[in-house]
Chain A
Amino acid sequence: MLDPYIPLVLMFALAFGFAAFSVAIAPLVGPRRYNKAKLDAYECGIEPSPQPVGGGGRMPVAYYLTAMMFILFDIEMVFLFPYAVSADALGLYGVVAVILFILTFGFADLYVWRRGGFDWD
């Protein structure tokens, strides 16, 4: 009865094993060259903020906007993708619904665009 789940359990085990292995092995075999960038929170090169927030530092408010826009477009995709997969089954109704969805979303985009929400400076 549990047969169909055995591969699933195996895959979980495998995934966990791989992750644990990677984390464990990296410090052992990796090269060690310490520099200033290594001590940053993110090594990708962007300063998260000049100071920690508790220290009185400020963060450019544009980050919030960007993050918000990201979430919005992300959610739009979350809706559009399942629709695209089952577009056939949903027929005309689906088309109309999705067009309405994109349209209302587009209004908001237009607003953000006209008000400079997409400009960094």
Chain B
Amino acid sequence: MGVVARTGVPDRHSEVLAQQSTDMPPIAYAAVAPVLIVLVAACLGVLVEAFVPRRQRWAVQVALSLLTVVCAGAALIRHAREINTGGTTFADTVAVGPATLFLWGTLLALALGAILLIADRSIEPGGAFVAETNAASGGTASRHPADAPGAASAEVMDRASASVVGMRTEVFPLVLFSLGGMMVFCAANDLLTMFVALEVLSLPLYLLCGLARRRRLLSQEAAVKYFLLGAFASAFFLYGLALLYGYAGSVKFSDIADATAGSLRSDTLLFAGLGLVVMGLLFKGSVGPFHLWTPDVYHGAPTAVTGFMAACTKVAAFGGLLRLLHVAFRASSWEWHWVLWSVAVLSMVIGVVSGLTQRDLKRMIAYSSIAHAGFLMVGAITLTERGLSATLFYLLAYGFTTLAVFGTIGLVRTSEGEATHLSDWAGLAKRSPVVATVFTFLLLALAGIPATSGFMGKFAVFSAAFSAGMGPLVVIALLASALAAFIYLRVIVLMFFNDPAPDGPTVSVPGAFTTAAITLGVVVTLLLGLVPMLALDWASVGGFVS
């Protein structure tokens, strides 16, 4: 399939209704196959939940999810080899170009790692998610399939029965739905599609956050917080969408771009709309002043889900933001540029300064992800080809590192679950040198030390920003990276140079799935640090289409 065909559907909806019949818009199946595969598999996953006996569900779901991601990846590669510039499909609502394909590839690869982490049942007996409620499991026979709020807590489920009962396997279709939403999000060609995709990716995430087996209250608090703030952000997005429609008379990116390029319309509508829409996106990407949910949600959610969120959601949110800025708002960049400039600075400062004071590892990484969001913003607002490919590369590199970081955090446990307090990690190198070394390497990657992918990403983004004339911002970003290094050094000091507490946590021997996920993350982090051309070439094939 060469260039995806444009459709013949008329623009005005009123005309659609007036005509006697609507043609089926041509659909470039080859182009959107990865998304279709993921979404269909998610539906199948729901059916599996309905019909497969309880004992086999986990195996079937894991196999189905992994197979889905691999098949979608294969379809993606097949298509990516054939296209040159890409095009739009589904009546211009979805645009698939080289940059979108790169984002899809990144999302699928990260999702593969995340699913491996989620599937693990060896570290926490039975899996890290809420147990299957089951009349036979205990005296408190629950009458309903949904958990009564707060009831099915860790106290109800003792460890022995937990490993027999296993975890709720609805997690897998939820992840696939979310993944499908993310993929559409990066490909949406109009604001309405983008909004629907935003909801499809968000709703499963809200649920996933609340499904931790241990520390149920924290987990539920995270879910509610995420849901409420996420709903606010969606409302902002929607309101902005309405204003932009009022401005441009269309929700399509290309129409908005035409409208912004030299028109006499009211700029108030444009800026209010753009501001609100971007705010919704920045919320998802946990950027700067819109980050307030991040530490609590990262902390409360099951660690594997946090990994999925931190890696994939960030890719999707920044993918969507990049598309929006590059395709729809390039012409008006002079007006909004300084706003996002300061958002980037704020995000870096907030992330670094708050990160320095954290006592909990998951919250610390959450703040570090806010700082990284600031670095990503530097790349996102360059609006050059170099900047785009650099940001894409950064997303890929950051995603894999973060995924492995959360995979590793999940390994250190006490009898009450994960030990994420910093003091629990003191002297880890004496107990488990391998885990400590791996974690140190990942932290160095987050700090951006050369020979890791984190450095290459930063270098690519900063040099692109420098070329785009943002020298002062680059200097601020470099200073922020230097400060951020202290966050990570603190943990390294703790692990290597301190003595372990006598009743400290143990390091679980990871099962095959977790080992595979962490290894994937570490290998990619190292490989992209040493041979960045592997991904940099792909990332710079081309930009977005509309």
Question: A residues engaging B (CB < 8 A)?
Answer: 61-62, 64-65, 86, 88-94, 96, 104, 107-108, 110-111, 113-117, 121
Contacts and interface: CB of A to CB of B under 8 A. Distances in A.
Interface in B2-17: 16-17
A114 B50 contact: yes
30 contacts: A61-B144, A61-B148, A62-B143, A65-B144, A86-B17, A88-B20, A88-B21, A89-B19, A89-B21, A90-B21, A90-B22, A91-B21, A91-B24, A93-B22, A93-B23, A93-B24, A93-B25, A96-B24, A107-B47, A110-B46, A110-B50, A111-B49, A111-B50, A114-B49, A114-B50, A114-B51, A116-B144, A117-B144, A117-B145, A121-B143
A89 B21 CA distance: 4
Contacts of B22: 89-91, 93-94
A115 B145 contact: yes
Interface of B is mostly: loop
A107 B51 contact: no
Interface string B17-60: 10111111100000000000000000100110111000000000
A53 B50 CA distance: 34
B525 to A, nearest CB: 38
B534 interface: no
Contacts of A65: 144, 146
B46 to A, nearest CB: 5
Contacts of B148: 61
A118 to B, nearest CB: 10
Contacts of B20: 88-89
Contacts of B144: 61-62, 65, 116-117
A92 B21 CA distance: 9
Interface residues of B, number: 21
Given A61-B148, A93-B24, A110 B47 contact: yes
B21 A61 contact: no
Contact of B24 (A64, A86, A92, A104): A92
A116 B19 CA distance: 45
A49 B21 CA distance: 52
A62 B143 CA distance: 9
A77 B200 CA distance: 20
B393 to A, nearest CB: 36
Given A61-B144, A88-B21, A104 B47 contact: no
Contact of B43 (A62, A89, A93, A104): A104
Given A93-B23, A104-B43, A107-B50, 19 more contacts: A61-B146, A62-B143, A65-B144, A65-B146, A86-B17, A88-B21, A89-B17, A89-B19, A89-B21, A91-B21, A93-B25, A94-B22, A107-B46, A107-B47, A110-B46, A111-B47, A111-B49, A116-B145, A121-B143
A19 B384 CA distance: 63
A89 B46 CA distance: 33
A117 B46 CA distance: 14
Contacts of A93: 22-25
Contacts of A90: 21-22
Contacts of B43: 104, 107
A90 B47 CA distance: 30
Contacts of B47: 107, 110-111
Interface string B447-465: 0000000000000000000
A89 B146 CA distance: 42
Nearest to A95: B24
